[in-house]
Amino acid sequence: MTTSSNPPNSVTPDQTSGMWGGRFSEATDAFVAEFTASVQFDQRFYKQDIAGSIAHATMLAKVGVLTEAERDDIIEGLSTIRSEIEAGNFEWRIDLEDVHMNIESRLTQRIGITGKKLHTGRSRNDQVATDIRLYLRDEIDDILKLLERLQKGLLGLAAKNVNTIMPGFTHLQTAQPVTFGHHLLAWFEMLVRDTERLQDCRKRVNRMPLGSAALAGTTYPIDRAYTAELLGFEAVSENSLDAVSDRDFAIEFNAAAALIMMHLSRMSEELILWTSAQFKFVNIPDRFCTGSSIMPQKKNPDVPELIRGKSGRVFGDLISLLTLMKGQPLAYNKDNQEDKEPLFDAIDTVRGSLMAFADMIPALVPNIEIMREAALRGFSTATDLADYLVKKGVAFRDAHEIVGKAVALGVAAEKDLSELTLEQLQQFSDLITADVFDKALTLEASVNARDHIGGTSPKQVEAAIARAHTRLEQLYA
Ligand code: ARG
């Protein structure tokens, strides 16, 4: 093919046509070349692409498809290219479409004809599926480390607040007193399930498609188990058509990422409420906040707000991948090139959000007195008074009715149940005696009484924190 035979709006023939130009009579349209390229975003897994190629070449030499000298040239060439990329001396070319062809083309430029042998017994279809899995596996490991740091931060803050009492809410209305430590442990539990989901997802990510070639496998006597071992894969994929096609592992990751973001968003929402002038339960240090350009008094909880906002894009990334996959016939289709950006976006967003949370949580300062004051309002011990009557033989539904009337009096008198006199309380039931104030109507009595696994009593929270440390050790062993 010569330059003159190409229409004006085309890339030069020595470019992509060198990779697959044999059957083409004109070069790719310049806009089409750019439109179909992925190198702008898939260069991010150059490291995994090179590692995969080195393993592939090593295997090809082991089974006698490459000589040892050829293998060594390829490995050396690829290692040099990795250094070039890392030093910023690598010219990424759109006309070479993707990370795979950029690196292969550069290899041939460097080491000559041997470079053209690297792709023996392989296709970009199994290559890209392998790269994404290697890349995602590394990212999952980093995300798990961030989760662990955040979980430890929560346990640390919880340990300091085993005895800190705050109102617990349902419908965002004061419900019953809880300990702040207990509330933080609720967040911890959400994140433990997130960890388990990611670890489970990792098992299915860590299988090797390489050897599936374009779709049907390859005619060379490849040793897939050997390549898998070199790359740290747990197993090889069982079916070549499936292996080059399905991205369910990435969808699973995005689903796990979406759940992490949903949890972080809920925690953010609480932090935003708690730092408001109306609640004042918690102070977020200035370094995590920003001000207003017009209102001098403002200190905004930007980090939690942004994370609450960012949850939406990760949910979108999940839907993008599901939709990308649903209509595809077997095996590989170019649609799959669109798997990368939603996956990368979910990875980046979840990483950034976890990083911010892991830094911010240990720095939170609870306003213990204000939390306590709030717990004293809103009749938070009403259930305790009902339970007190039940213990004296009243049926729960009747006790509920009695206490409801006492609350109505409190509302009218603008007094908490603990601020009513014994005589006032006895109007509603003569079973109420002087011990009611200690046994039922103090905040301490209320939380201490919830003394079972999963309950809010300081004793239970302390035990839960101890168990949580052991669970973390097992989780991240
Ligand atoms: N850049 C492509 C992708 O991301 C690599 C695989 C291309 N395969 C093909 N047959 N065109 O999916």
Section 443-465 average pLDDT: 97
The model's pLDDT over 123-136, given as tens digits with 9 standing for 90+, comes to 999 999 999 999 99
Rounded Cα–Cα distance for residues 285 and 280 (Å): 13
Residue 337 CB–ligand 1 contact under 6 Å: yes
| Ligand 1 atom nearest residue 336's Cα | 12
> Does the pLDDT value for residue 215 go beyond 50?
yes
Considering the chain, what is the average pLDDT of its residues? 95
Give the mean model confidence (pLDDT) for residues 405-427. 96
Mean pLDDT throughout 120-148? 98
Give the pLDDT score at 21: 74
pLDDT category at 13 given cuts 50, 70, 90 is very low
Atom of ligand 1 nearest to the CA of 99: 1
The CA 412 to ligand 1 mean position distance, Å, reads 72
Model confidence pLDDT, tens digit, residues 286-295: 999 988 888 8
Atom of ligand 1 nearest to the CA of 340: 4
**Percent of the chain beyond pLDDT 70?**
96
Confidence band of 121 (pLDDT split at 50, 70, 90): very high
Q: What is the pLDDT of residue 129?
A: 98
Mean pLDDT, residues 404-413 taken together: 96
The whole-angstrom distance between residue 348's C-alpha and the CA centroid of its chain comes to: 9
Distance 276 CA to ligand 1 centre (A): 50
Instruction: Give the mean model confidence (pLDDT) for residues 443-460.
Output: 97
For 397-417, what is the mean pLDDT?
A: 96
Mutate to test the pocket of ligand 1, among 97, 125, 212, 244 (most ligand atoms within 8 A of CB): 125
With cut-offs at 50, 70 and 90, classify the pLDDT of residue 299: confident
Ligand 1 centroid vs 130 CA: distance in angstroms?
A: 12
Measured from the Cα of 97, ligand 1's closest atom is 1
Q: Name the token pair of 216.
A: 């049907």
Residue 38 near ligand 1, beta carbon < 6 Å: yes
Model pTM score? 0.94
Average pLDDT over residues 261-285: 97
pLDDT of 52: 98
Give the tens place of pLDDT for each residue, 34-67: 999 999 999 999 999 999 999 999 999 999 999 9
> Does the Cβ of 429 fall within 6 Å of ligand 1?
no
Region 390-394: mean pLDDT is 97
Give mean pLDDT, residues 63-80. 98
User: What is the set of active-site residues?
Assistant: 171, 292
pLDDT reported for residue 285: 93
CA of 334 to the centre of ligand 1 (A): 6
What is the pLDDT at residue 17?
57
Q: What is the mean pLDDT of residues 299-319?
A: 96
Pocket lining: 336 vs ligand 1, CB cutoff 6 Å: yes
DSSP state letter for 45: G
Our answer on whether the CB atom of 194 is closer than 6 Å to any ligand 1 atom is: no
The answer on pLDDT for 9 being more than 70 is no
245 Cβ closer than 6 Å to some ligand 1 atom? no
Quote the ligand 1 centre to 184 CA distance (angstroms): 45
> What pLDDT sits at residue 174?
95
- Closest residue (by CA) to atom 3 of ligand 1? 337
- Quick check: 5 pLDDT over 70? no
Say yes or no to pLDDT of 336 above 70. yes
Using a 6 Å cutoff on CB, does residue 125 contact ligand 1? Answer: yes
- Express the helix, strand and coil content of the chain in percent, nearest 5 each: 65, 5, 30
**pLDDT band at 436, cuts 50/70/90?**
very high
In degrees to the nearest 10, what's the CA dihedral of 228, 234, 239, 240? -30
Percent share of the chain, pLDDT over 90: 92
Q: Atom 11 in ligand 1: which residue has the minimum CA distance?
A: 334
pLDDT reported for residue 4? 41
Distance 38 CA to ligand 1 centre (A): 8
For ligand 1, pick from 53, 95, 97, 98 the residue to mutate: most ligand atoms within 8 Å of CB: 98
pLDDT at position 20: 73
Residue nearest to atom 10 of ligand 1 (CA): 125
Mean pLDDT along residues 212-229 = 98
DSSP 417: G
Instruction: State the amino acid at position 323 in one-letter form.
Output: T
Indicate whether residue 128 lines ligand 1 (CB < 6 A). yes
Whether the pLDDT of residue 2 is over 50: the answer is: no
- Ligand 1 center to 250 CA (angstroms): 16
Distance 98 CA to ligand 1 centre (A): 8
pLDDT category at 349 given cuts 50, 70, 90 is very high
Give backbone dihedrals phi and psi of 221, rounded to 5 degrees, phi first. Answer: -80, 60
**pLDDT band (50, 70, 90) for residue 172:** very high
* Residue 49 · residue 92 · CB < 8 Å: no
Residue 282 DSSP code: E
311: Cβ below 6 Å to ligand 1?
A: no
- Nearest ligand 1 atom to the CA of 38 is 1
- 3 state SS for 136-182: HHHHHHHHHHHHHHHHHHHHHHHHHCCCCEEEEEECCEEEEEEEHHH
pLDDT of residue 1 exceeding 70, the answer is: no
Average pLDDT of the segment spanning 373-394 = 95
Which residue, chain included where needed, has tokens 């130009």? 21
Q: What is the pLDDT of residue 460?
A: 98
- Nearest in space to 102 (alpha carbons), one of 71, 131, 141, 69: 131
- Predicted local distance difference test score (pLDDT) of residue 105: 98
Gyration radius of the chain over CA positions: 31
- What is the predicted pLDDT for the residue at 102? 98
